[in-house]
Amino acid sequence: MDGQNNWEIFREIMVKVSGGALLFVEILLTLLKILYYTGEGIYRLFVPVEEKSVAGEIVLVTGAGHGIGKELALKYASLGATVVCWDLNQQGNDEVVEEIKQLGGSKAYGYKCDISNRDEVLKVAQKVKEEVGDVTILVNNAGIMPCHTFMGHSSEEIKRIFDINVLGHFWTLQAFLPSMIKKNHGHIVALSSMAGVVGLANLVPYCASKFAVRGLMESLNEELRSSSKDNPSNLQFTTIYPYMVDTGLCKKPRFRFTSFMPLVSAKQAVEKIVAAQRRNIREISIPAYWLYVNCFLRSFPEKGLVGVVDFFNSGVDPDS
């Protein structure tokens, strides 16, 4: 009996030792991965990944009738993609489709759609599938940005901001993500904002909606990654955080240093957005340095961060 007990004790010790050794090896491998991917990230700052082709892809852009959405539609068409334009503004949407057709070389389709209405999104999405095909690149661009103090927002306006800026993403994802998962091919691009990274006065509901977009994209990407380890997912996710873009949404921008923090033109923004999508970049701000600046400043004590914010004195003033 004593010999058997000693054997059991020895086996338990060996199991613990081997388990500890395996854990040590796993920790070491994780550290090596971190070092490798950090080096790769630094390298890619100087030698970017080659941009993949989007020729032949079916690209759907929401809010395509004006601003960034219009420029995105035109850019993807110029790269040989079939473009599907969605907008609540029928006239503006049709004009963009016609402009693409006049350029020649790419197919373009326009559909009037209120992305805040789930039933309408699913209905129009089915029409797109029947008339054009399965969407392979979805660009959730549509959004609204009322600029008021928090107490200046009506309950209806707050709901409208979230219906368009957040729930619109959910409904289009429910409509188009299943076919992407089935084919294991597709790319989701979401327009968040630097207001989805940093809270700003006079934009409380808007900031909250753009923070939500960031959470949606990060968690959905992780869910697909962790649930498909046996058959790795080829779906790509790109979240964009533009600084103030000159599209008319930002009616009263405020800058202390205009040369350092200028408005970005829609065409400049689109060049960065499309390049990020074609390089499978997960997150990018426009200009790119803002995400790095934010990470650096977040390491400051809270009062130090407030001091930096007050020094730059950048933001938006209420519309009225």
**Positions marked active-site:** 206
First to last CA, the chain: 88
Which residue's entry shows tokens 């597709």?
A: 186
Cα distance between residue 151 and residue 129, in whole Å: 43
Helix (H, G, I), strand (E, B) or coil at 232: coil
Whether 106 contacts 80, CB under 8 Å: yes
Cα distance between residue 55 and residue 46, in whole Å: 26
The DSSP code sequence of 152-179 is: GS-HHHHHHHHIIIIIHHHHHHHHHHHH
Whether 287 contacts 223, CB under 8 Å: no
DSSP state of 49: P
